[in-house]
Structure 1
Amino acid sequence: MSAYLTTRRTMLRGLGVAMALPWLESLQVWGQEAGTTAVKGEAPVRFAALFSGNGFHRDHWWAKGAGKSMELGPVLEPLNEFRERLLFIQGLYNEEALKGNIHSSQTGNILSGAPLESGGGIRSGISIDQMLAKHYGQTTKVPSLVLGCEKSNPSVHKNYSMLYSSHISWSSPTTPTPLEVYPALAFDRLFRQNASKSDQSVLDAVLGDAKDLRRGISRSDKQKLDEYLNSVREVEQRIERAGQRGELQGWRPALDKPNIPRPADGIPQDIADHMRLMCDILVLAFQTDSTRLCTLKLNNDHSSLRFPNLGVDYMIHHLLSHQESDDWLKVNQFFLKQVAYVARKLDAIQEGSRTALDNSIIMYCSSMLTGSHDATKLPVVILGRGGGKLKTGRVLDYLDKPNRKMCSLYLSLMDKYGLNLDQFGDSTERLAEI
C-alpha cells in the first residue's frame, strides 16, 4: 500500500470543502481512535434516534415471535423485511415523564430520563446522543447531527415549555441541541468547511482529489467510490430542484433567505419530500463518516403536521392521534416507511463483511404508546446489530420485570460504544438481554 494511502486522512478535499470517505477495504484506516472500541480496519458503529410524537394506533402496534417467523402488527408492516435485524421492545418507561403535564413532560426527557423544570423554565438532562457525542463523536467532522422536520414551538402548554415537545436532543440540562430543519444547511454542515454563499457543487470541488485516490484503490473500491459520489450528486441535485420549485425545503447557501416566506404555522410545504431528504442526509452522513451520531425528529409531540400526500389533510397530527381510525393507521405507517427507508439505504452500503445497517443501532421511539397520552409503556424498535454487538430478531417485554427503565436501555446501548457509565438518568442498572 502506498505511503499516500497509509498516511492520508479519510477525506476528499477541495476549495472550502472536506468530504469524508465511505469505508474502503483498500484503506482500512478507520478504528482504534481515541474514545472508540472499533477494531482496526472495521467500519465504525453508528447510532441514530428517530422520533415521532403522539404514539400509534392502539390496536396495531405489536409484534410476536422471533426471526423470520416474527409477526408485526399493521403499524410495523413497513419493517417486515428487517424482522431478523429488529428488536421490538415493550414495557419501558421514564418515571419523570409521568409527572408534570402531557406532551412536554413526555418528550423533553425521552432520551435522558431527567426531571423537567416547570413554570415555563428550561431544564432537562443531557440526552444519550450527546453523551455519546462527547465520548465517541470527537473523531468525526460533525460530533452529532440533529435534524428535524417541524419547527420548534416556543410557547407554554399547561405550565411547561413546548420546547420540551420540540427537542429530544439536549447538549446540557439547559440547552436543547440546535435543530436543523433545512436539508440544504444540514448538507452543508457535513461537507462545507465554512457556511458561505457558493454556487459550486460540493462534489465538483473534490473531483481532483477523488481522481488521485482512484489510482491506488482496488476495482471493487473504485465501484464503491463511484456509487458514493453518485449518491452525493443525487442529493445535491434534489436540493437544487427543490430550490427551483420555490419550496421552503430547497433553501440553499446561495440565497440570503428562502425565496418564499416560511408558512406561518411552520409546516413544510411538502412533508414527504422533506422527510425523505432528511433521511437521505442521515444515511449520507453515516456513509461518509462525517458523523456517527444522529437524531431525526420526524415531527414534534403535539404536532401540527398535516398529510395531504396521504389524503389526510382534514386534521393535524395531534388531533388525529386521538382517533383510532384508518387514517391514523395510514399516518403511522407513513412514519414507519421513513424508518424502513433509512434501514434499506444503510443495508445497501457494504462495509467489509457487514452492511452499514449491521454497523448501526437505529432506535425509533415515541413519547407515548397511544394518542391517549399513555407514557407508562413506551414504544421502542431498534434496527441494526451494532457491529455484531446486538442480538436481533427478538421481541422483549419488560412490563412485568423489576427493571423497565428507558435509561437502563441507554446504559446498555452506550456500552456498545465503549461508554461505560455507572448511572444515566434515573438508572444504575443495565437492561437485561440487551
Structure 2
Amino acid sequence: MNQHHFSRRFFLRGVGVSMALPWLESFNVWGDQPRSNASASEAPVRLAVLFSGNGFHSQHWWAKGEGREMELGKALAPLSDFREKLLFVRGLYHEEARKGNIHSSQTGNILSGAPIASGGEIRSGTSFDQLLAQSYGRSTKVPSLVLGCEHSNPSVHKNYSMLYSSHISWNSATTPTPLELYPALAFDRLFKDEVAAADKSVLDAVLADAQDLRRRISIGDQRKLDEYLDSVREVETRIENAGIRGDIQGWRPTLDKPNMGRPADGIPQDIAEHMRLMSDILVLGFQTDTTRITTLKLNNDHSALRFPNLKSVEQPQHGIDYMIHHLLSHSDGEDWLKVNQFFMEQVAYIAGRLDSIQEGERTLLDNTMLMHCSSMMAGAKHDNDQLPVILLGGAGGRIQGGRVLDYKEKPERQLCRLFLSMMDKMDVHPKTFGDAKTMLEEV
C-alpha cells in the first residue's frame, strides 16, 4: 500500500459486502477532499438527530449554570455526566408550526420550519439533515441513515395527515424519507451491498481483507481495529438473538408462546432493546464512517408506545403500560417524568458510546453534533412557543459545551437559525433555510 492508495477512501471488502474503516492513525481514511479549515486526516463532523414526541414534564425541563456546575432539571438528570459537553438551548421555535393543528403541524416541519399542508395533502419541506445528505453525505456509502422505533401512523387528525407526526426527515416537500424500523435491515444497509439474507456474517465476509490490513498498520491501530470488529460482531449477535428470543414484555396473548416461528429479521418486542439496538447501529455507522448523518425517531408525536419495562410510581403494581405515551403526556405526573428520563437515557447511552471511542486527540462525541428535540415543550399543554432542544458533542472543536443559551426574549429566535449554524459546522453554507436568514452566532 503506497501513499497514493492511502489518500483514498479505504474499505474492507468481501463478496457482496463493503465495510468502511474507523479512524486510524496509520493513514488518512477520510478521503481526498479536506474541509477548508481542517486537514484531510482529521475526523469528520457527524450529525445525529434524536426525536421524541409529545414534549416533556412541564416542571422539569430546564438547565442553569455552566460547565460541571450546571444544574439540570429532573427530566435531564440522565445527562448529568455530560454537562461539560451539553449545550442547552432555550426559546427557539417554528412560526409555521403554530399555524395548524396540534401534533401533526408541530412535527412534520420540526427539521425544516416549512409550512404544512392540510386537507389530506402531504406537503412540508426538505429537512436540514437531508440537505446535508445531498452534499456532505455524498462522501460516505450511506448518505444518511433514517431510523425509527414506532410505525408510521397513516390516519388523519384534525384535518392533517398523521404522517407528519410520524416523520421528521423529509427528502423533499412531498416525500418523507423512508424510515427503517427493523434493526437487521438498518444494519444490512450499513454493511451489505445488497439488503438480503446472507450465508455468512459481515465480519466473516471481510475477514481475509481485515487480516491483510492488520499486518500493515501500527500496534495501536491493530487494537483499534480489533475493538471495532468486536463491536460489529456484538451487534450482529444481538440482532440475531432479538429475532429468536422467546421472552415477551407487557401484555400477554392467550397463547403461552407463538404458534408459528418468529422471523429472524423482526422488530424486538422489548421497546428498550429496540431503542438500544438502533442506538448501537447509529454509533457503528459513525464509528465506521459508513454514514455521517443519522436521524433516530424514538417514537411518534401522538405516540401509542407503552413502557412495561418501567416500574410505575403512580400504580406500583404495574409497569407503565396502563396508558399510551400520548395520553400519559397529558397527565404531567411522576410516571410521565419516568418516561421522559427513559428517553434521555437513550441520549445518554449514545453519548457515552460515542465518548468512549477515541479518534486521534478527540473522541467520537467530540466530533459529533448529537441533537435531541421534541415537537412541543409540554405534552399537557401542547405548547410550542418554545421547543426543548439540547446539543451534545463538540462538532470537531467548533462547539463549546457546558452552556445555556437563552433566546426566549430575543426577536430573532427561529429554530432554523440553529440549523444554519449546525450546517455551517459541516461546511454546508446555504444563505437561508426555512424562515432563517442568519445563523446563531453564539453556537
Q: Does 1:65 align with 2:73?
A: no
Give the equivalent residue in structure 1 for 2:377: 369
One-letter amino acid of the structure 2 residue matched with residue 193 of structure 1: D
One-letter amino acid of the structure 1 residue matched with residue 93 of structure 2: Y
2: distance between equivalents of 1:267 and 1:355?
31
Give the equivalent residue in structure 1 for 2:44: 44
1: distance between equivalents of 2:117 and 2:35?
32
CA shift for structure 1 position 323: 1.0
One-letter amino acid of the structure 1 residue matched with residue 442 of structure 2: E
Aligned partner of residue 308 in structure 1, secondary structure: strand
Is contact 1:35-1:135 (8 Å) kept?
no
CA shift for structure 1 position 9: 3.4
Give the equivalent residue in structure 1 for 2:272: 272
Give the equivalent residue in structure 1 for 2:438: 429
One-letter amino acid of the structure 1 residue matched with residue 387 of structure 2: L
Give the equivalent residue in structure 2 for 1:389: 398
Counting only pairs closer than 5 Å after superposition, residues 4-403 of structure 1 correspond to structure 2 as 6=6, 9-33=9-33, 38-245=38-245, 259-260=261-262, 269-310=269-310, 311-371=319-379, 372-403=381-412
One-letter amino acid of the structure 2 residue matched with residue 319 of structure 1: L
1: distance between equivalents of 2:12 and 2:140?
14
1: distance between equivalents of 2:210 and 2:352?
27
Give the equivalent residue in structure 1 for 2:314: none
One-letter amino acid of the structure 2 residue matched with residue 374 of structure 1: D
Aligned partner of residue 211 in structure 1, secondary structure: helix
Give the equivalent residue in structure 2 for 1:407: 416
CA shift for structure 1 position 419: 1.0
Is contact 1:144-1:292 (8 Å) kept?
yes
CA shift for structure 1 position 210: 0.4
Residues 190-249 of structure 1: per-residue CA shift (max 9 Å, x gap): 00001122131111111100000001111110000000000000000001111122689x
CA shift for structure 1 position 39: 2.1
Is contact 2:21-2:29 (8 Å) kept?
no
Is contact 2:243-2:267 (8 Å) kept?
no
1: distance between equivalents of 2:36 and 2:202?
29
Is contact 1:32-1:38 (8 Å) kept?
no
Percent identity for Structure 1 against Structure 2: 68
CA shift for structure 1 position 98: 0.3
CA shift for structure 1 position 422: 1.2
Could you tell me which runs of 5 or more consecutive residues in structure 2 were left unpaired when the two chains were aligned: 249-259, 311-318
Residues 344-369 of structure 1: per-residue CA shift (max 9 Å, x gap): 00001100000000000000000000
CA shift for structure 1 position 259: 4.9
Give the aligned CA root-mean-square deviation in angstroms.
Answer: 1.9
Number of residue pairs aligned between Structure 1 and Structure 2: 422
One-letter amino acid of the structure 2 residue matched with residue 45 of structure 1: V
CA shift for structure 1 position 407: 0.4
2: distance between equivalents of 1:312 and 1:261?
28
Aligned partner of residue 146 in structure 1, secondary structure: strand
One-letter amino acid of the structure 2 residue matched with residue 402 of structure 1: P
Task: Specify whether residues 103 and 145 from structure 1 end up closer, same or farther in structure 2 by C-alpha distance, changes over 3 A only.
Answer: same
Is contact 1:169-1:295 (8 Å) kept?
yes
Is contact 2:12-2:19 (8 Å) kept?
yes
Give the equivalent residue in structure 2 for 1:252: none
1: distance between equivalents of 2:209 and 2:190?
18
Task: Specify whether residues 267 and 277 from structure 1 end up closer, same or farther in structure 2 by C-alpha distance, changes over 3 A only.
Answer: closer
CA shift for structure 1 position 20: 0.5
CA shift for structure 1 position 29: 3.1
Residues 110-160 of structure 1: per-residue CA shift (max 9 Å, x gap): 000000110011000000100000110001000000000000011111000
Residues 321-359 of structure 1: per-residue CA shift (max 9 Å, x gap): 001111000000000000000000000110000000000
2: distance between equivalents of 1:321 and 1:164?
19
Residues 393-432 of structure 1: per-residue CA shift (max 9 Å, x gap): 1001100011110001111111111111111001112123
Aligned partner of residue 408 in structure 1, secondary structure: helix
Structure 1 stretches (4+) deviating beyond 6 angstroms? Answer: none
Is contact 1:57-1:332 (8 Å) kept?
yes
One-letter amino acid of the structure 2 residue matched with residue 59 of structure 1: Q
Is contact 2:181-2:267 (8 Å) kept?
no
Could you tell me which runs of 5 or more consecutive residues in structure 1 were left unpaired when the two chains were aligned: 249-257
1: distance between equivalents of 2:274 and 2:38?
33
Q: What TM-score, normalized to structure 1?
A: 0.94
Aligned partner of residue 152 in structure 2, secondary structure: coil
CA shift for structure 1 position 260: 4.2
2: distance between equivalents of 1:247 and 1:20?
34
Task: Specify whether residues 193 and 361 from structure 1 end up closer, same or farther in structure 2 by C-alpha distance, changes over 3 A only.
Answer: same
Is contact 1:156-1:162 (8 Å) kept?
yes
Mean Cα deviation higher: 6-15 or 52-61: 6-15
Mean Cα deviation higher: 277-286 or 8-17: 8-17
CA shift for structure 1 position 38: 4.4
1: distance between equivalents of 2:269 and 2:431?
45
2: distance between equivalents of 1:412 and 1:5?
35
Aligned partner of residue 296 in structure 1, secondary structure: strand
CA shift for structure 1 position 33: 2.2
Aligned partner of residue 386 in structure 1, secondary structure: coil
Aligned partner of residue 47 in structure 1, secondary structure: strand
Task: Specify whether residues 7 and 71 from structure 1 end up closer, same or farther in structure 2 by C-alpha distance, changes over 3 A only.
Answer: closer
Is contact 2:107-2:165 (8 Å) kept?
yes
2: distance between equivalents of 1:112 and 1:313?
33
One-letter amino acid of the structure 2 residue matched with residue 320 of structure 1: L
2: distance between equivalents of 1:391 and 1:332?
26
One-letter amino acid of the structure 1 residue matched with residue 363 of structure 2: T
